[in-house]
Amino acid sequence: MTENPYQPINGEIADIIDESPTIKTFVVVPEKPFGFKTGQFVELTLPGEGEAPFTPSSSPAQIDKMDITIMKAGRITGLLHECKTGQRVGIRGPYGNGYPIDDFASREVYIVGGGVGLAPIRSLFLTLVDRIKDFKSVTCRFGAKTPDDFIYKNTLFGAWQKINGVNMKLTVDNANGGWKGNVGVVTTILSADDVDIKNSVAVVCGPPIMMKFTTFKLLEFGFKPKDIYLSMEKNMSCGIGKCGHCMIGKYYVCKDGPVFTYEQIKQYPNIWD
Amino acid sequence: MKTVFVSELKPFLDAVAKQMELYVPKETGGHYVYRKYDPSAAEPPVLNNIRICATVKEFLFPMCELAAVFPDPAEPLQVKPFAVFGLKDCDLRSIEILDKVFQEEDFQDPLYIERRRNMFIISSDCWEPAKNCFCNMLDGRPFAEKGFDLNISKVRDGFIIEAGSQKGEYFIGEHSRLFNEVPQNLLSERDKNRARTQKQLEQNNAEFKLDRSIKEIVENSQDSEAFDVEAKGCVECQACTRICPTCHCFYLYDTKQQDYFTKMKMWDSCMRQAYAEIAGGENPRKVLGDRVKHRLMHKFVYFLDRYGIDMCVGCGRCIDTCAGGMDTRTLLKKLNEELKSKKEAKAAK
């Protein structure tokens, strides 16, 4: 009997954490353990309403529950933001390739993130930190619109900064309150001296415009297109490479991605739109 | 494989209909549609000379179907055996394409597989090409050599029936009293008929002759303005994708019933403006010309890269149906000419 790939497993929202004015993290408990690779995504169904793709932001080591950080951006995300704990949900997946962590071994990992793009990055970060000795270093450059817009503030401003082997810098587009850090888009805190480019991989996740200019900056620094890993956000619907909505050229983002090297997709039109 | 002869179609179709639900062509308004076969009907069954207007994908991948029920899953879909009569080689090739998508190993679609497994395929030779048929440009032919259970060829005073699978072979064996041996010379008559139709098809499309493979032409037309120009006639009705036997875009949507929820699977169209749009509003194919281009790229480049075959069978239904007068052949020819002049200009430098 062929398994039905359209069948969600049942789950429940066990907790909801306000991250920023537009972003919440939903702690979802599936009815049975649910494993995934960091960077893979799930289709989260709000029963009777619809489903949307999200990359869990928790560590894949945790399989009894997962964190899904969601920005209010459209119909489904708007409805999810109105949900209370105890809400029943459906989960399909995990889908896609995830980050090729093993290929990052003994190299410097240069992570550039922006806004809600820190959600997949948090999962990656926790995975890297778990085996930090395998990597030469982990260098993070994160940005948000304002200090309030940073998600995971507690750990971001605290514990993560102190991890041995991690170098982190933050920036905001517009400062307010007591922000003492850099002001400017994320590319203003990138420097060719941050890492040894020849022995580094870059991971970029954030809004399309940020990913575009970060990629161009990294190329300018001398990164090879094959060493720039991009988490592409497209309209993934079926999750299994059939329905066609998420195509970038010949690739199905849901199946061949969502993580692509710039080398793979640079020839295709409108990848940043 | 067994090859037999019948002088009339009716006893043969009656025998099929005794075993399973049978769909046959019916002529209406200058083209053919499917209807359920009724052995008691007064009018004799017809053999369609060209492809049926509706596509075979409707039997395998219906316009809208139930994909999942939750919280408690529904019983898996069960389909009774059914037969479709009057499919052409282009239809069989479209099944081959859909098979690649829905039966590929990593993610199989159980709905498609169940229907596919229970379909008995009775194809037939094209007697004459329709004016928009261009299967010859895609290595197709007006007759099938594989992909069928039984194939029918019209000849003098009757029909040659050829088995193409174990299922077909078994059917002939089981109903041997209905069939006769193929009279002498009729096989060569069949070959002559086939060659005549093939020749006519080639004549019809002579003006669209291309200098390179379609893949090479389309792949090198990424920057062409022809897509935007061509898109000017498009009224975004999406008929081309609905009537295409190989287009298989779909979307999943959720509904609430009394005490359970459903996930439905419904045809979608890459020609729709918001098709690729994401929640934040970004859309890689906002512009209509970009959607026309993506569709052509998918058919002739991307699908070929992934599965090793074109995602177009040259049935020409999209040309028949287009309210804006768009013709894939004209567009390909235009891109061919553009590439030719580009190459010539480069050589002259």
Domain residues of chain B, as ranges? Answer: 3-206, 214-348
CB contact under 8 A, A10 and B301: no
CB contact under 8 A, B290 and A269: yes
Note the pLDDT tens digit of each residue in A135-174. 999 999 999 999 999 999 999 999 999 999 999 999 999 9
Longest dimension (CA), chain B: 73
Closest by Cβ to A240, choosing from B107, B290, B294: B107
Closest by Cβ to B278, choosing from A88, A234, A244: A234
How far is B290 from B288, CA to CA, in rounded Å?
5
pLDDT at B349 over 90: no
Q: What is the pLDDT of residue A9?
A: 95
Closest by Cβ to B67, choosing from A6, A88, A269: A6
Q: What is the pLDDT of residue A2?
A: 67
pLDDT at A177 over 80: no
Note the pLDDT tens digit of each residue in B101-141. 999 988 999 999 999 999 999 999 999 999 999 999 999 99
pLDDT at B243 over 90: yes
pLDDT at A15 over 70: yes
What mean pLDDT is predicted for residues A83-90? 97
Using 50, 70 and 90 to split pLDDT, how confident is the model at B42? Answer: confident
pLDDT at B251 over 90: yes
Using 50, 70 and 90 to split pLDDT, how confident is the model at B29? Answer: confident
Note the pLDDT tens digit of each residue in B180-206. 999 989 999 999 999 999 999 999 999
Share of chain B above pLDDT 90, in %: 91
pLDDT at A1 over 70: no
CB neighbour burial string for A36-54, b if at least 16 within 10 angstroms, e if fewer = bbbbbbbbbbbbebbbbbb
For residue B253, list chain A residues with Cβ-Cβ distance below 8 A. 50
Structural domains in chain A, CATH included, are 9-94 (2.40.30.10), 101-231 (3.40.50.80)
Closest residue of B to A271, CA-based? B284
For residue B251, list chain A residues with Cβ-Cβ distance below 8 A. 237, 243, 245
Helices (H), B144-185: 166-174
Q: What is the pLDDT of residue B1?
A: 85
- Asked if B170 reaches chain A (Cβ–Cβ under 8 Å), the answer is no
Q: Are A16 and A26 in contact (CB under 8 A)?
A: yes
pLDDT at B319 over 90: yes
pLDDT at A251 over 80: yes
CB contact under 8 A, B285 and A270: yes
- Asked if B273 reaches chain A (Cβ–Cβ under 8 Å), the answer is no
How far is B312 from A187, CA to CA, in rounded Å?
44
Residues belonging to chain A:
273
Q: What are phi and psi of B261, to 5 degrees?
A: -120, 150
Residue from A22, A75, A243 to probe the interface with B (highest B Cβ count within 10 Å) = A243
For residue A55, list chain B residues with Cβ-Cβ distance below 8 A. none
Closest residue of B to A70, CA-based? B279
CB contact under 8 A, B278 and A233: yes
**Torsion angle of alpha carbons B56, B305, A206, A92, nearest 10°?**
40
Closest by Cβ to B110, choosing from A4, A52, A90: A4
pLDDT at A22 over 70: yes
Note the pLDDT tens digit of each residue in A32-54. 999 999 999 999 999 999 999 99
Q: What is the pLDDT of residue B281?
A: 85
- Asked if B261 reaches chain A (Cβ–Cβ under 8 Å), the answer is yes
Closest by Cβ to A47, choosing from B107, B254, B265: B254
For residue B286, list chain A residues with Cβ-Cβ distance below 8 A. 273
Note the pLDDT tens digit of each residue in B199-239. 999 999 999 999 999 999 999 999 999 999 999 999 999 99
Chain B: nearest CA to A99, how far in angstroms? 19
Closest by Cβ to B254, choosing from A4, A50, A248: A50
A54: three-class secondary structure by DSSP: strand
CB contact under 8 A, B284 and A270: yes
CB contact under 8 A, A244 and B277: no
Closest by Cβ to B256, choosing from A48, A242, A243: A48
For residue B221, list chain A residues with Cβ-Cβ distance below 8 A. none
What mean pLDDT is predicted for residues B287-310? 95
For residue A8, list chain B residues with Cβ-Cβ distance below 8 A. 68, 70, 263
What part of B 69-128 touches A (C-beta under 8 Å)? Answer: 70-71, 73, 76, 101-102, 106-110, 113
- A133 Cβ contact list (under 8 Å, min separation 6): A165
What mean pLDDT is predicted for residues A106-132? 96
Q: What is the pLDDT of residue A110?
A: 98
Q: ∠ at Cα B39 (B36, B45), nearest 5°? A: 75
For residue A97, list chain B residues with Cβ-Cβ distance below 8 A. none
Q: In whole angstroms, how far apart are CA B194 and each of B3, B5, B9, B148?
A: 16, 17, 20, 17
What mean pLDDT is predicted for residues A254-258? 95
Q: Are B144 and B56 in contact (CB under 8 A)?
A: no
Q: What is the pLDDT of residue A241?
A: 95
Closest by Cβ to B280, choosing from A10, A73, A248: A73
Q: What is the pLDDT of residue A139?
A: 97
pLDDT at B80 over 60: yes
Cis peptide leading into B76, omega within 30 of 0? no
Q: Are B137 and B81 in contact (CB under 8 A)?
A: no
Q: Can you list the positions of beta strands (E) in chain A? A: 9-20, 23-30, 41-46, 50-54, 66-71, 88-95, 108-114, 137-144, 166-172, 182-183, 200-205, 228-231, 247-248, 251-252, 259-261
For residue B250, list chain A residues with Cβ-Cβ distance below 8 A. 238, 242-244
For residue B254, list chain A residues with Cβ-Cβ distance below 8 A. 45-51
Computed over every residue of chain B, the mean pLDDT equals 95
pLDDT at B22 over 70: yes
Residue from A23, A238, A264, A268 to probe the interface with B (highest B Cβ count within 10 Å) = A238
Q: ∠ at Cα B276 (B272, B281), nearest 5°? A: 110
> How would you classify residue B145: left for phi > 0, otherwise alpha for psi between -120 and 50, otherwise beta?
alpha
What mean pLDDT is predicted for residues B290-317? 96
Residue from B247, B255, B282 to probe the interface with A (highest A Cβ count within 10 Å) = B282
How far is B15 from B24, CA to CA, in rounded Å?
14
What mean pLDDT is predicted for residues A245-257? 95
Closest by Cβ to A242, choosing from B102, B283, B290: B102
